[in-house]
Structure 1
Amino acid sequence: MTLRRFILALSLSLLLPGVGSVMAEGDSTYKLASGDIIRISVFGEPDLSFDEIRLNDAGTFSYPFLGDVRAGGKTAAEIERTLTERLKGNYLVDPRVSVSILKYREFFISGEVKTPGGYAFQPGLTLRRAIALAGGLTERASTSRITIIRDQDPQRRPEQATLDTQILPGDTINIDQGFF
């Protein structure tokens, strides 16, 4: 590594102290669901490696020899273990499987933003940044009447949010009008 790259990396780590840990932490605990895109690599087995696999509506994907693999509600590490266990013995002697998340499912924002719709999730995303992605607030928007329905919540209950609330993939955000 050159001195210039070292200084750049050090500067970035000082300016953005939580970014690396958020991404690593998000990948290790993040539960997959419908719409996520993953990459599967099996060392030395190009026929069992795939650059892009999108989880279907049921949170599963089809895999050679194994059929449908349930990925919804599991982490990438859990999928690695599942594939390793199921491939070992019958198909491969010592499979080395790697699963990574290429693209998270979208989050959705509606109400008093300039461009409502679905947007690509990024690790470390806050409501403030989500609003910026949607073109900002309209002149009628309320910053205190914001609700989020979490994709992970089976009862789909709206919860109050602040501009610093963390956004997760699949979340649905609604920004109400303020009273004047």
Structure 2
Amino acid sequence: MNLANKLTFLRIFMIPIFLIILLTNWIPDPNKRIFALVIFALASLTDMLDGYIARSRNMITTLGKFLDPLADKLLVTAALISLVELRDLSAWVVIVILSREFIITGFRLVAASEGIVISASWWGKIKTITQMFMIMLILLNISGIEILENILIWLAVIFTVISGVDYIVKNKSVLKEN
């Protein structure tokens, strides 16, 4: 178990903590969003850090290739569904984002069955960063910045769709019948 994989496991471990803080009454309302935001931001930072460590120290493993994107999807999905429950985010946004994730995950599985590895693209990285910033801004729940929130929501949706189309177009040979 190398350091990069430990950071990925830490990110997964932080998800239930984030959910407990945000969705229960264990912490009083004025502070729960700030604590949840801190946990989410730290978990998001581990995403960048584990990838950097794995690449720079040649610690890329099969386990890491599996767990890192899974941890990202679990973190973002947990946050998005929580924001819908709290009525801070429209369900259609979450449906678009999750649909893309299911489509691309299935697409990657088909590619993997053919021995093709589909690496993360820049569009995918921009999508993830935009989604994480959107979630953090919504968690802040500051009145008067609704326009900025809406801009980030739309950017997250747009980059989500663009990255999904980009993966499919660049790897369309995966879908061709033999």
TM-score when scaled to structure 1?
A: 0.24
Q: Structure 1 or 2: larger strand share? A: 1
Larger Rg over CA atoms: 1
The answer to which structure has the higher helix fraction is 2
Higher relative contact order (CA 8 A, sep 6+): 2
